[in-house]
Amino acid sequence: MNNRSRNVFVYVLIIAAIAAIVFGVRNNSTNAREISVSRLVSDINSGRVSAISASDEGELTATYDNNDIRTAQIPANTEDPVSVLASLGADKEQLNTVEFEFTKPSNLFNWIGLIGTFLPLLLIGGFIYLMLRQAQGSNNQAMSFGKSRARMFTGDQPTVTFDDVAGADEAKEELREVVEFLKDPERFIQLGARIPKGVLLVGHPGTGKTLLAKAVSGEAGVPFFSISGSEFVEMFVGVGASRVRDLFDQAKRHSPCIIFVDEIDAVGRQRGAGLGGSHDEREQTLNQILVEMDGFDTDTNVIIVAATNRPDILDPALLRPGRFDRRVVLDRPDMRGREAILKVHARGKPLASDVDLSVLAKSSPGFVGADLENLVNEAAIVAARKNKKSISMRDFEEALERVVLGPERRSRLISEEEKRLIAYHEAGHAIVFHKLPHTDPVRKVTIVARGMAGGVTWTMPENDGALGTTKRYFDQIAGALGGRAAEEIVFGDVTNGASSDLENVTRIARTMVTRWGMSPKLGPRVFGQKEELIFLGREIGEQRDYSESVAEVIDEEVHEIVSTAYTRALDVLRENRDKLDAVAERLIEVETLGREEFLELMGDRPPGPASEPPGEPAARAEASAKGDGKQPDSDMPPAPLGTAPSPA
């Protein structure tokens, strides 16, 4: 039942209720005018009655001289009501003065009376039905709590194949065996081979796990059951387990087929961690999944494909051999993978001759498939906004900047003093990043507000390397503190514009000491054990496995790393004070500096005549001045500093 039908049903109930009230009032008013036959005879004898209407049901409707109406009841099917009244004592002369009319009963009023009798019951039943529909959802029939909500796609006309999946060559090779088994299972069974019952797709959000599962179904040409892990669990006890049984029954009837469970961590989290203990509804659902996977025979030809980005919180019983035998990892694509993904998403779109997808791929390290799809779509929107017939490279550059930092906020009004302060802050970032040897090259510096940031300094790595050295982290911390150092040198005071810078560098320095073993005093050791709330998947604390004296040393080491980096940033800016002033003054004048102009101000020749790369990567961009980016916690992040700007 859709929303429109539901609204019509509600209106009908309201009209019926009003009709029931009206007819009830009418019936009550009619019953109030009813009199006895003897009273009617007395009124006839007194000459007060002027007309009488009689029906086959024996109802006499008397009209009085004052236009009042009374009813009286005589035996039904009476052929001569006058004789009946005369036999009861009515005066014949007075009866002759009364006008008699004989009418047949109307079937309409009979039906109305019947409806009025049963209408309250119908209203109550309709209300209960409507409440059941609301509790169950619009996609299910009433009382179908235990039915599976999985959507089945036939494999006759596949919409997604392996050609639509790019940047995951290793993952596709792992899944080709599954496709071959579904197409020709006898070839494996004759050799005594057992195909994996379950395949777990693991990867960051947006890497294409769901797309790859659909591609497996499209390549094999078999039915495809798709369901989300959250759709199993309801507020009613036993509903999730019942839906699991129904899903597997459907799959067995349509074998060979594929069952795809998206976000399986919603129902597959470790047991015993929930608020309800072993009686938790989610755990009952998980237990039923485990039982059903164990019940699969070799001739069932049903393969379960599940996707998650949190494999660390899944129940160990779900990951053992015989259930999810194979784990396929979808990592962030490299430069070649990003170029292949861009080619897939650029199909059917009119690209200008100056568009170079390899340059875009190089300029977007850290991007996953969803990010690249969004990049291409934003570029198309930018081109459409300009009424262009094709998408140019400039449109992609603008789209990349919008994706990373948000649109420009040129309408933001700031004072000349604040503008000068932001310019020196960003110039300090850029110069320190440029002068230190283990940092990424500066690609763009701007004091135009982007997103939540008042100004931004962008850096872009030369490659996709995910490992970071001690020297690199020291230099990155110094570059992040370059803005605050410039404020102290030029103005003799500091602002809160470096609040996010300080937060980031403190977190990185502590991670270097406690997680990465980069402290000379403490050596290669990990300090503290993280405690996580499994059923929420979040870290709630850290168990200290070290003494108070070690904690003091950790604090000293963190302070030493940050202080040394800050001193280094001050030294670099004091040695290059003339360049700091030049870059800041130029930023005040033009607001944005590209790589070539920045290198010219620094006295360095740009490396070749190549044009400025479009935009900067999400994983490496440095946001500063009135707010710098924050980086999610990770043991081995691709970059020490984040990109999403935040207010100071």
d(CA 565, CA 398): 34
Q: What is the DSSP letter of 300?
A: S
pLDDT above 50: residue 166 = yes
Kindly list the catalytic residues. Answer: 426
pLDDT above 60: residue 612 = no
d(CA 648, CA 537): 29
pLDDT class of 154 with cuts at 50, 70, 90: low
pLDDT above 60: residue 617 = no
pLDDT above 90: residue 561 = yes
Mean pLDDT confidence for 459-463: 76
- For residue 615, the model assigns a pLDDT of 42
- For residue 238, the model assigns a pLDDT of 66
Mean pLDDT confidence for 429-440: 90
The per-residue DSSP string of 306-372 comes to EEES-GGGB-HHHHSTTTEEEEEEEPPP-HHHHHHHHHHHTTTS-B-TT--HHHHHHT-TT--HHHH
- For residue 542, the model assigns a pLDDT of 60
Q: 130 or 71: whose pLDDT is higher?
A: 71
d(CA 175, CA 173): 5
- For residue 19, the model assigns a pLDDT of 64
- For residue 543, the model assigns a pLDDT of 64
- For residue 634, the model assigns a pLDDT of 35
**What amino acid is encoded at 516 in this protein?**
W
pLDDT above 70: residue 71 = yes
Highest mean pLDDT: which range of 30-44, 226-240, 387-401: 387-401
- For residue 557, the model assigns a pLDDT of 92
pLDDT class of 7 with cuts at 50, 70, 90: low
pLDDT above 50: residue 609 = no
CA dihedral 75→80→81→83, nearest 10 degrees, is -110
Highest mean pLDDT: which range of 109-123, 563-577, 614-628: 563-577
C-alpha closest to that of 602 among 482, 439, 434? 434
Q: 579 or 463: whose pLDDT is higher?
A: 579
Quick: pLDDT tens for 267-276. 888 776 554 4
- For residue 571, the model assigns a pLDDT of 93
Q: Could you tell me which residues are beta bridge partners of residue 592? A: 446
Provide the terminal-to-terminal Cα distance of the chain, rounded to the nearest Å. 50
d(CA 167, CA 282): 35
Q: 624 or 513: whose pLDDT is higher?
A: 513
- For residue 5, the model assigns a pLDDT of 59
What is the H or E stretch that residue 215 is in? helix 209-220
pLDDT above 80: residue 622 = no
Region of poorest pLDDT, from 279-283, 383-387, 551-555, 605-609 = 605-609
Percent of the chain with pLDDT over 90: 10
- For residue 641, the model assigns a pLDDT of 38
The per-residue DSSP string of 360-373 comes to HHHT-TT--HHHHH
Mean pLDDT confidence for 163-178: 83
Q: Could you tell me which residues are beta bridge partners of residue 258? A: 224, 303
- For residue 466, the model assigns a pLDDT of 63
- For residue 257, the model assigns a pLDDT of 83
Region of poorest pLDDT, from 86-100, 138-152, 216-230 = 138-152
